[in-house]
Amino acid sequence: MYASHPPGNGDYTLPPSAPPIHGVQGCEPCSNLVAELRHAVQGSDPSAEVDARVKIRRHMIQAHGTEIPFFAG
């Protein structure tokens, strides 16, 4: 389980200066996933946030052929 270590030591918050993730305009899965990520961040739910980031990354690669940094806010 190499991916079992969540970032932030349980007290993870986005740096305020981090640029937000923007989904691809007009792509419904993108806007749903970004909304999910925002919800997790605002709810201070690190595990849900990591989950959302993983899903966004996978969607971006599979649907748009775009690799985004895992921690691009």
Contact residues toward Zn ion (CB under 5 A) are: 24, 27, 29-30, 63
Smallest gap from residue 69 Cβ to Zn ion (A): 17
Backbone angles phi, psi at 5, to 5 degrees: -105, 100
Smallest gap from residue 23 Cβ to Zn ion (A): 6
CA 23 to chain centre: 10
Return d(Cα 47, Cα 27) in angstroms, integer: 25
Q: For Zn ion, give the closer residue by CB, 30 or 46.
A: 30
Q: For Zn ion, give the closer residue by CB, 12 or 68.
A: 68
Smallest gap from residue 60 Cβ to Zn ion (A): 7
Q: For Zn ion, give the closer residue by CB, 24 or 48.
A: 24
24-48 residues labelled b (16+ CB within 10 A) or e (exposed): eeeeebbeebbebbeebbeeeebee
